[in-house]
Amino acid sequence: MGSSMSGIVRLTGAAMAAGVLAAAIALPAVGGTGAMFVSASEDLGIKAEELKEPPLAERTTVVDAKGNQIAQFYEVYRETITLDQVAPVMKDAILSIEDYRFYEHGPIDIEGTIRALAKNLTSGGIAQGGSSITQQYVKQVLLTSANTEKERNAALEASYARKLKELRYAMAVEEKYSKDQILEKYLNIAYFGASANGVEAAAKRFFNVKASELTLAQAATLAGAVQDPNATDPNLGKPQRDRLLKRRNLVLDTMVLRGKINKQQADEAKAKKLGFKNIALPGGCGDSKYPYFCMYVRNEVLTNKVFAKSAKARSQYLNRGGLEIRTTLDPKMQAAAEKAIKKHVFASDYPVASEALVKPGTGEIKAMAASRKYGNNKRKKEMSYNIVADAVHGGGTGFQAGSTFKTFTLLTALKEGMKINDGFTVGQGYRAPYYSSFKNCKGENIGDPSHTVTNDEGGGGFKSLATGTWGSVNTFFMMLEQKVGLCDTIKTAKSLGIKRSDGLDLLEFSTFTLGTNEMDPVTVANAYASIGARGKYCKPMAITSIKERDGKVRTFKPQCQQAIDPEVTDAAANILSGVFTKGTMRSVGGIGRPAAGKTGTTDAQATAWFAGFTPDLAGAVSIGDTRGAQKYKLNGVTIGGQYYGSVFGASIPGPIWKDTMIGALQGIPATDFTPVNSSRFGGCGSGCQPQPQRVQPDNGGDEEPGTLDEASVDMAGDN
């Protein structure tokens, strides 16, 4: 062959001769090609070599608690199906153009190979193929399993060495599988262009039908695409579509030649337009109806070592594993949250409202919603991160939780023996008496005698655990935290899963009880769900089971522990239920069943919250400006078409929570809170309200000493 072969990868003369000789010996005058090939290959020492067939990359689907698909993930867009799910006309089309003698020959089509060898020898290189369906399957396996560029180049190398290696693999494949099984595997692995791998994905991507529904023209189009899918990729432009149309018509003519259709059928199919519908590639959270919940699930799999040890393995598990991930999301509860948020906050508003719902006693996240649409279009004020969750699950820095944190101080006081009516007299301002008045959990003095905490609207006088909570009085809770201990309060919060949204350590300052740490709704809702479950803390969970491609099902149970004495939480629930009737939510009202909760507003209305619970469902709502809550406070703002001089927890978050819970719990029987152990928590102990001196009023009447006029609860403080 001389210098004309310079620069072309080729076998040695002996090996090339062996290849030609093998084909020549195996080529019979009539029939029996498979047996004759085996005989010739054995004589020449060509042995079958086992092909490693790693599982095909398949899409993972995510479904809600009812089994409805809500998202899907994939590295390669493919849906594996069985051969009986492929339209017969598709099988005829692919075999007619690619390997019409597939069911007659062995691992190699001798006639095609001889033609290819003859052509290649005269051209001085690899000018013509001749690969059987089995050989093409082998090539696709080698390509899809290539982990490096070197391995990929080796799978595509234009050499007789590669052809012989493919042949050895093909021999093993033919020994291992039936012809139908090989054809099925080929149709599932073949690339058709437009990012569609496998015939099912291609049918949907090209024509928006299943492979079982393909028409003659559509089947011929897909069959024509596999030879050079990049050159005929209809998604790339008109030249590619024109080439694909010519390939389709060639397939139709070839089907006539093979006797699979008649000329009239071919002509009718040729008269049709290409019909490429360019169906958008599904997948990712951007296409999900519930993008924020989708992001939570995605990040849970990618970051949790329970699914795989390494980050790479977890990514492959999610994007290539062909999983069905069943989640905790309840579509009815999700719809209720979305409806409530939309009623009070517009997607076009700068402040963003977000909400999470959690089932007490399980940690199951039932809904995650936000006022902003998910996306990257800043002009439309879309949001590309998960504002409902923490940073580990795709969220950001969160918002300061405000007075929702007073609940943890209340719980600590009850744990340490205080009774519902215990309290003390407070002023309109509070200043730590000493640096040692507050110690962090390292034992360091962090009191600040130079800083004065004030109430928004007065609020001096005697406050009990009940009245101080109902009025959300800042000065009372600073004194209460000083009394029970900052570190003990922090430990209570941590026992209920409280951690910063950004993943950093909790800030352990004296104002911890006022909610200076940045939180996310999932974390806060789950903490309050623990109170609704009588102190049983369960780790937030979004995934209940994963069905793997082999049918094996991994189930995930709630991870719970008793964090707080149930009777303590019963007393706290009793107090917090008064927030709706005697406290900061009095103007909003309750939900028609036993419920408890706490408003939260940060300094100067930077952010606002409401967190509440029933024994059946808990939720937390936050609102703040994502441009910077401290810079863009919620004062003098129009939200949801309504002007607010100042936004408090009961202004927007409270009504959103109320509307959500009414809708989410519709049809679910109400559950009562467990009554308070009055012998333990009733009345007061060492912190009773001082007895007022009797003063004869002008009208001659007396006010009963030691009673609380519940209709005129002091509403001062951070509400």
Tens of pLDDT along 579-606? 999 999 999 999 999 999 999 999 889 9
Q: Nearest-CA neighbor of 51 among 148, 131, 145?
A: 145
Inside any domain, residue 562: no
pLDDT band at 164 (very low <50, low <70, confident <90, very high): confident
> Tell me, what's the pLDDT at 32?
43
Q: Given pLDDT bands bounded at 50, 70 and 90, which one contains residue 703?
A: very low
Structural domain ending residue among the three candidates 231, 261, 280: 280
Question: Is 21 or 377 the better-scoring residue by pLDDT?
Answer: 377
33-51 pLDDT, tens per residue? Answer: 444 444 445 544 578 889 9
Per the model's pLDDT, the better-predicted residue between 670 and 689 turns out to be 670
598 occurs within a structural domain: no
161 and 228, same domain (yes or no): no
pLDDT for residue 11 is more than 50: no
Are 173 and 222 in a shared domain?
Answer: no
* 633: confidence class by pLDDT, cuts 50, 70, 90: very high
- On whether residue 35 sits in a domain, the answer given is yes
Mapped onto helix, strand or coil, the DSSP state of residue 258 is coil
* Per-residue confidence (pLDDT) for residue 112, from 0 to 100: 61
User: Which pLDDT tens digit goes with each residue over 221-251?
Assistant: 999 999 999 999 999 999 999 999 999 999 9
**Same-domain status, 14 and 119:** yes
Residues 276, 232 share a domain: yes
Neighbour-count burial for 656-687, b at 16+ CB within 10 Å, e otherwise: bbbbbbebbbeeeeeeebeebeeeebeebeeb
| pLDDT higher than 80, residue 618 | yes
The pLDDT tens digits of the residues spanning 546-579 come to 999 989 999 999 999 999 999 999 999 999 999 9
The two structure tokens encoding residue 311: 């980050």
pLDDT at 55: 86
Q: Structure tokens of 308?
A: 């795989």
pLDDT at 62 over 90: yes
In this prediction, residues 522-540 reach a mean pLDDT of: 98
- Overall domain count for the chain: 2
pLDDT of residue 115: 59
- The residue among 118 and 137 whose pLDDT is bigger is 137
Structure tokens at 269: 């199919």
pLDDT (0 to 100) of residue 500? 97
**Over pLDDT 70: what percentage of the chain?**
86
| Model confidence band, residue 693 (pLDDT cutoffs 50, 70, 90) | low
Give the model's confidence band at 126: pLDDT under 50 very low, under 70 low, under 90 confident, else very high. Answer: very low
Q: What is the 3-state secondary structure (H, E, C) of 580-649?
A: HHCCCCCCCCCCCCCCEEEEEECHHHCCEEEEEECCCCEEEEEEEECCCCCCCCCEEEEECCEEEEECCC
Q: Which of 189, 209, 241 is the last residue of a domain?
A: 189
Q: What is the three-class DSSP state of 358?
A: strand
Looking at residue 269, its pLDDT comes to 97
What residues contact 398, with CB distance under 8 A and at least 6 apart? 390, 500, 501, 502, 518, 519, 520, 622
**Is 298 contained in some domain?**
no
Residues 355/357/358/364 CA torsion (nearest 10 deg): -100
Round to whole Å and give the CA distance between 572 and 569.
Answer: 5
Q: What mean pLDDT comes out for the span 355-373?
A: 98
Q: What is the pLDDT of residue 117?
A: 55
Amino acid letter, residue 124: G
Is pLDDT of 711 > 90? no
For residue 106, what pLDDT is reported? 79
Nearest to residue 576, comparing CAs of 472, 463, 649? Answer: 472
Q: Residue 363 is which amino acid? A: G
176 residue type, one letter: K
365 touches 357 (CB < 8 A)? yes
DSSP character string of 16-74: HHHHHHHHHHH--SSS-HHHHHHHHHHHTT----PPP-PPPPB-EEEE-TTS-EEEEE-
Q: For 455-494, what is each residue's pLDDT tens digit?
A: 876 578 999 999 999 999 999 999 999 999 999 999 999 9
Which of 357, 410, 356, 358 has the alpha carbon at shortest distance from 576?
Answer: 410
Q: Is residue 229 part of a domain?
A: yes
If 0-12 CB within 10 Å is exposed, 13-18 middle and 19+ buried, where does residue 146 land? middle
Q: What is the pLDDT of residues 201-215, one digit of tens each?
A: 999 999 999 999 999
Residue 426: which H helix or E strand, with range? strand 423-426
Same domain, 242 and 135: no
Whether residue 496 lies inside any domain: the answer is: no
- What does the alpha-carbon distance between residue 560 and residue 540 come to, in Å, rounded to a whole number? 10
Is 522 within 8 Å of 280 (Cβ atoms)? no
How far apart, in whole angstroms, are the C-alpha atoms of residue 522 and residue 616?
A: 16
Q: Give the span between the Cα atoms of 447 and 432, in whole angstroms.
A: 6
38 and 175 share a domain?
yes
Do 270 and 230 share a structural domain? yes
Calculate the CA dihedral of residues 309, 315, 318, 320 and round it to 10 degrees. Answer: -120
Residue 457's pLDDT is: 61
Note whether 150 and 204 are same-domain residues. Answer: no
Backbone angles phi, psi at 437, to 5 degrees: -65, -25
Residue 283 dihedral angles phi and psi, to the nearest 5°: 125, 160
Specify the 3-state DSSP secondary structure of 539: coil
pLDDT band at 615 (very low <50, low <70, confident <90, very high): very high
Are 154 and 220 within one domain?
no
Q: What is the mean pLDDT of the chain?
A: 87
Which two three-digit tokens encode residue 470?
Answer: 């109902």
Residue ranges of E strands in 458-499: 461-464
Same domain, 129 and 169: yes
Asked whether residue 267 is domain-assigned, the answer is: yes
Range of the domain at 198: 192-280
Mean pLDDT calculated for residue range 610-637: 96
Residue the block writes with tokens 């699979």: 260
> How many CB atoms are closer than 10 A to CB 505?
9
**Final residue in a domain of this structure, among 168, 189, 210:** 189
Strand bridging mode 423-426 / 461-464: antiparallel
Q: Are 48 and 28 in contact (CB under 8 A)?
A: no
Which CA distances in Å does 173 have to 49, 52, 107, 138, 154? Answer: 9, 10, 8, 8, 20
> 166: which 2 tokens?
């493919």
Rounded Cα–Cα distance for residues 140 and 440 (Å): 62
Choose the weakest-confidence range: 16-30, 332-346, 670-684: 16-30
Is residue 60 a part of any domain in this protein? no
| 158/24 same-domain check | yes
Query: Are the CB atoms for 77 and 67 separated by under 8 Å?
Result: no
Give the chain's length: 719
Residues 204 and 181 reside in one and the same domain:
no
**Region 346-364: what's the mean pLDDT?**
97
Instruction: Judge whether 542 and 376 are in contact, CB under 8 Å.
Output: no
Q: Is 435 exposed, middle or buried (0-12, 13-18, 19+ CB in 10 A)?
A: middle
Question: At 223, which CATH number?
Answer: 1.10.3810.10
- Work out the angle between the directed axes of helices 653-664 and 331-344 (0-180°, nearest 10): 150
* Distance (Å, whole) CA 242 – CA 229: 13
Is the pTM of the predicted complex or chain greater than 0.85?
Answer: no
Tokens of 633: 């406070």
